[in-house]
Amino acid sequence: MTEEQQQLLHQFILIDMAHRSLMSDKEQIEKYPDRFKTEKLQDVINKLLDAIHHDYYNLQRLLRLNKIQVGGWKRVDDEHSNYLYTMQGIEGVLKYNNKQLKNEVENMLTQKF
């Protein structure tokens, strides 16, 4: 795997994690009974989802062009997760520190907003 392909896969993992996190937050906020208090937060989440939407689908397209498929992730322990991928029929694993990954996602979302 080239460095460019690794970077592409890493960016997709960040965007995917951000998307999942925002969708989870959105679902939790929608359950909150006081809509007035959550309206601004919902607006922020929707703006962030819109901001990453284009990047998400563009990265998916680039991964397909590079014949890379992301298989999902698996939490190894409290500190680490493995992201499974397949590239040209060969399976691989990227190992991440959860705290570091979370910080990268937060920084990315901060820059988007």
pLDDT bucket at 65, cuts 50 / 70 / 90: very high
Which contiguous run of DSSP H or E holds residue 79? none
pLDDT bucket at 110, cuts 50 / 70 / 90: confident
Residue 70 forms beta bridges with which residues? 85
Residue 15: both structure tokens together: 């965007």
Question: Can you tell me the distance from the alpha carbon of 64 to that of 62, in angstroms, rounded to the nearest whole number?
Answer: 5
Neighbouring C-alpha atoms within 13 Å toward the C-beta of 30: 8
**Whole-number percent of the chain with pLDDT over 70:** 96
For 89: left if phi > 0, alpha if psi spans -120 to 50, otherwise beta; the answer is left
